């Protein structure tokens, strides 16, 4: 059971209210460099990113926004800290969402001005906290409790201004802390939740940490949009986000390769075969399931369960399609036989 | 709260009963090649693997076991299918555990002979099911229900022979199915559970799928030993297993890098810095937490929370140790300053 949430719209993309869980990322280019930023937005759109956030740290960055917005294939969310004029400029440039905390914008009239402008344009605001920047004056308690209190304070500030196009995040590096924070706030507010594990690190460690943290929350039914944070190219963040969602059957994107880890029973170069098949599957849009299996123990069962599969024995393998054994294939023909079947199924 | 389980011992390693969650893998060499298998066992031990399974598909493989066992730095589990003589030969060679299903060994007297030999040597047996090789006669129901029924049947067969050195696994490619199967069987038996997601694929997809599946189960308190299955080198399986356990604070191994994903606010080449620091951290055994952060928004908070950290601004950064600001560092000195602090903390 997914947690119910009040839907918001960021440009044409619905977040919450039972909509498919939205995959987002953030540009890592210098926002002042509009051309580079637009290139990265196109790259992100190409791998299935659905929303893009970009930092707007200064006036020059804000001045690049109109061109970026005009050429962006994705709805844009401006990430603002400290300076309410940057939020107003971003709204003026037509961004589709804001990420800011009223608590760090300063004087109440400045917050009110930003909220008024956002309301006029029906632009949602994400508020939230990172464990790394909790206000010093947050009340006592565990880190997760302080995160919930701090996020609630931001929410209440917007609600007091009669604004409810709200999305909320509570990010930490520590997974149990993150899970406790999101599960803590989930029943207290009706707004959609943006999931993320902050500063999760380089590819392998960050991928695992994000998959565990987001996986647990999504399994618990919590989360309306996800952002995987990795020190590396943002396209990789999107790829990992989809793998997380696919593993819980929450989204489909492209083909899925089932391949065995191999063991002392293996009698073929399964890893090379699996890599060659995966490279080919990158180009397939349909949600096909392809199995590349290395022995007779689990091979036939998994291969038969896939749309296309092969169970490789000594020098020959058995090709399956849709649970039906097609024929025996010689080792040198494994790849071509699989690709031929994949082509047929992938044809429009 | 972790599920309580009856401990077993595989060689000197305790699994279950509140022991630390054990990391295991499987050799992918041809078991008949004792030298290659022993080399891989040493490589696995070097990255922290605690138990190793190896396939024993034929008599020649069984004949290699005495030498492998003699030279192995790790307790060994023989993976047996179909032929009870291979199980007896493996026990004779001194293996520390067996992986077999009585249901696929055949005649009752053969199963009894294996169980008797295992009991004499106090060698535990892992039973279990893979969704890909469910018996055709498993009773109706969901895949997870059929997996639970099939695994219970294997357990009952051993119990009927007065054998209780049992460990159980229920693996599937589908994460929700796997979670349903393990949570289904957990309250029904007292034995430790071996977690895995089968045939999870090549590095990225398999890492994510394993992290989500094992992460959810471990978060729910289920699991006494884990094996990550990846099509690739087994050392990578061990590295991913530790990252999963570290992310839930269930095990510690080596240093942890906290690094931000970077964004349009970045004013330094953070990814290169993070990679250089991570390369250095590979050599550190102590559970240090090192933060490499790219801006003033979350940087100082996360950096201050780490044992050593740097928050990089424009041309200079702030170095922290144990929550205390040490000094400002020029950009060209980021790496050397961090490494110098890491060296001090890592010193015995």
Cβ distance B211 to A212 less than 8 Å, yes or no, reads yes
Residue B138 has pLDDT above 60, yes or no: no
Closest-CA residue of chain B to A219: B216
B contact test, residue of A146, A201, A279 with most B CBs within 10 A: A201
A205 to chain B, any CB pair closer than 8 A? The answer is yes
Q: In this structure, what token pair is assigned to residue B20?
A: 């630390």
Q: List the structure tokens of A214.
A: 């987001």
Indicate the residue among B214, B247, B280 that finishes a domain: B247
Instruction: Identify which of B81, B208, B219 has the shortest CB distance to residue A211.
Output: B208
Do B175 and B263 lie in a common domain? no
Q: Do B193 and B298 sit in the same domain of this protein? A: no
Ramachandran sector of residue A45 (left: φ over 0; alpha: ψ -120 to 50; beta: rest):
alpha
Q: Which residues of A touch B248 (CB under 8 A)?
A: 175-176, 212
User: ipTM for the complex?
Assistant: 0.94
At A124-135, the pLDDT tens digits run 999 999 887 787
Find the distance separating the first CA and the last CA of chain A, reported in whole Å: 34
> Which of A133 and B79 is assigned the larger pLDDT?
B79
pLDDT at B203: 83
The DSSP H or E segment spanning A8 is: strand A8-10
> Residue A277 sits in a domain of what CATH number?
3.30.413.10
Q: Which pair of tokens denotes residue B14?
A: 């305790």
Interatomic CA distance for residues A276 and A280, integer angstroms: 6
Residue B3 included in any domain: no
pLDDT per position as a tens digit, B19-52: 999 999 999 999 999 999 999 999 999 999 999 9
The pLDDT score that the predictor gives to residue B108 is 92
Residue B1 lies in a domain: no
The reply to whether B130 touches chain A by the CB within 8 Å rule is: yes
Q: Is the CB of A131 less than 8 angstroms away from the CB of B301?
A: yes
Domain at B222, CATH number:
3.20.20.20
A257 phi and psi, to 5 degrees?
Answer: -100, 125
* Domains in chain B, number: 2
Same domain as B268, residue B238: no
Residue A84 within any structural domain of the chain:
yes
A203 in the same domain as A261:
no
Position B202 confidence tier, pLDDT thresholds 50, 70, 90:
confident
| One domain, residues B169 and B310 | no
pLDDT tens sequence across B268-319:
889 999 999 999 998 888 889 999 998 777 777 777 778 999 999 889 999 9
Please name the member of A212, A264, A271 whose beta carbon is closest to the beta carbon of B231.
A271
Using DSSP, state whether B9 is helix, strand or coil.
Answer: strand
Is residue A286 within 8 Å of residue A345, measured between CB atoms? yes
Any idea which of A58-62, A342-346, B55-59 has the lowest mean pLDDT? A342-346
Q: Which residues contact B19 (CB under 8 A, 6 or more apart)?
A: B7, B224
Helix (H, G, I), strand (E, B) or coil at A150: helix
In the 8-state DSSP scheme, what is residue A133?
G
As a whole number, the mean pLDDT across chain B is 93
Range of the domain at B273: 256-346
pLDDT at residue B137, as a whole number: 61
Q: What is the pLDDT of residues B95-133, one digit of tens each?
A: 999 999 998 888 999 999 999 999 999 999 999 998 877
Residue B2 lies in a domain: no
Mean pLDDT computed over A217-240: 96
DSSP codes, B21-52? PEEEEE--S-TT-HHHHHHHHHHHHHTT--EE
Chain B residues near residue A231 by CB distance under 8 angstroms: 259-262, 270-271, 274, 292
């Amino acid at each position: 059971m997914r947690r119910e949430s009040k839907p918001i719209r960021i440009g044409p993309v619905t977040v919450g209210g039972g909509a498919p869980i939205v995959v987002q990322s953030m540009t890592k280019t210098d926002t002042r460099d509009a051309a580079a930023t637009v290139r990265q937005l196109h790259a992100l759109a190409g791998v299935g990113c659905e929303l893009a956030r970009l930092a707007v740290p200064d006036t020059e960055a804000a001045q690049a926004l109109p061109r970026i917005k005009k050429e962006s294939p994705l709805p844009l969310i401006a990430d603002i800290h400290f300076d309410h004029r940057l939020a107003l400029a971003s709204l003026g440039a037509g961004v589709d969402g804001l990420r800011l905390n009223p608590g760090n914008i300063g004087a109440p009239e400045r917050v009110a001005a930003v909220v008024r402008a956002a309301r006029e344009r029906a632009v949602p605001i994400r508020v939230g906290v990172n464990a790394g920047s909790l206000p010093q004056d947050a009340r006592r308690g565990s880190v997760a409790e302080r995160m919930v209190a701090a996020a609630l304070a931001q929410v209440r500030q917007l609600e007091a201004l009669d604004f409810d196009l709200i999305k909320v995040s509570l990010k930490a590096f520590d997974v149990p802390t993150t899970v406790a924070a999101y599960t803590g706030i989930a029943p207290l507010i009706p707004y959609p939740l943006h999931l993320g594990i902050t500063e999760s690190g380089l590819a392998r460690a960050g991928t695992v940490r994000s998959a565990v943290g987001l996986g647990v929350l999504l399994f618990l039914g919590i989360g309306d949009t996800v952002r995987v944070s990795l020190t590396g190219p943002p396209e990789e963040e999107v790829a990992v986000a989809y793998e997380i969602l696919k593993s819980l059957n929450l989204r489909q994107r492209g083909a899925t390769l089932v391949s065995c880890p191999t063991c002392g029973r293996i009698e073929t170069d399964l890893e090379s075969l699996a890599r060659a098949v995966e490279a080919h599957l990158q180009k397939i849009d349909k949600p096909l399931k392809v199995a590349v299996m290395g022995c007779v123990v689990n091979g036939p069962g998994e291969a038969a369960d896939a749309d296309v599969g092969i169970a490789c024995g000594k020098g020959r393998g058995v090709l399956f399609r849709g649970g039906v054994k097609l024929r025996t294939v010689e080792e040198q023909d494994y790849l071509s036989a699989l690709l031929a079947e994949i082509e047929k199924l992938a044809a429009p």
